[in-house]
Amino acid sequence: MVAQYFIKEPYLTPSCLLSETPVYQPATKTLYFIDMPRHQVLAASVVDSAVSKVGSATSEDWVEAFATADDAVIKKWTFNHMITYVGRTPEPDVLVLAAKEGVAVVDFKTLEPNTATVYDVPYKVHVFADRPTLRDSLRFNDANVDTHGRLWAGTMPLDWLSNMAQRIGQLWRFDGPEMTPTLVLEHLGVPNGMCWSPDNKYFYLADSAEHTVYRFDYDAETAAITNRMRFINTDAPIRPDGFTISESGHIFLTLTNGGSRVLEYTPHGGLVAEYHLPARKVSCCVFGGDANDELFVTTAHDPDAPADDQGGQIFRFRVKATALPYNALKA
């Protein structure tokens, strides 16, 4: 029987238009995430708040949900281009970014937060600079770092609702100190979340346009991906978005476009739990906390949702799983 949990209260209330790609930095107990339409990177201090047990509607299991942390400090930085991903490097305050036209590495200690300043994205690899055809039709989207410190990032149509059927999305990989770009896959719809299995045998990639999470065979040494297969499917109009994976190989997949929840799957694709949130558009999740057993979940504002929809806020709850070791960019 699939466990059903209903989380009622957000942990942070930044009221984003589209919060995405959370990453937890344990050295500073900071949660970084983005507000994509506003071109912002945000950093929230992860502080204690009241915890309540949320029982399953279908079993005797329970999870712990965190109440709103009114004293959490949130910093914001605004950039000239859309930011689509934030990830870790070996330095706590230095993040790797995917942005509209490429990738960057930014030391946030050098940038003043919460000001009217709009910072230029300091592209380390400006992928679209000499590719005007791509620049006029695509932007970068979600990304992730593998166990060898390589950054993988997808691109999607600028006008994705009109153009996703054309399958012009791509998957790129950035290798080595210079982050040399390699085009890995073409003819995708809207490539989104991506992760690797704990044993590094599989690479998972969500294509929101296809309502599918694909699984590939993966060679960690060469970074080759082969043998694509459909692993998880969602029913239209619900689309898979970002996801993370536990040390036991369980996939925690967010559902947007009316999905309103996080789904937990076994390594074999069996659904074991649903974590319902009061937001129609759930966008991404990441493990964090002192024991790496808490999920931080981002959501998006939906102007067509009921007035009590909590889209744009951040949720936090403790699950019966722990994170894989974090991968940091090596560049």
Total Cβ atoms within 10 A of residue 197: 16
Residue 39: what residue type? H
Does residue 241 have an active-site annotation?
yes
Return the H-helix or E-strand segment holding 134: helix 132-135
Whether 4 and 57 have beta carbons less than 8 Å apart is answered as yes
Annotated catalytic residue within 35, 146, 207, 241: 241
Burial of 184 from C-beta contacts in 10 A (0-12 / 13-18 / 19+): middle
Both structure tokens of 225:
């991906």
Alpha-carbon span 22 to 27, nearest angstrom:
16
210: helix, coil or strand? Answer: helix
Q: How many whole angstroms separate alpha carbon 21 and alpha carbon 152? A: 14
Q: What angle do CA 52, 55, 60 make, to 5 degrees?
A: 135
Joined together, the tokens standing for residue 317 give: 């709850």
Q: Active-site residue numbers?
A: 241
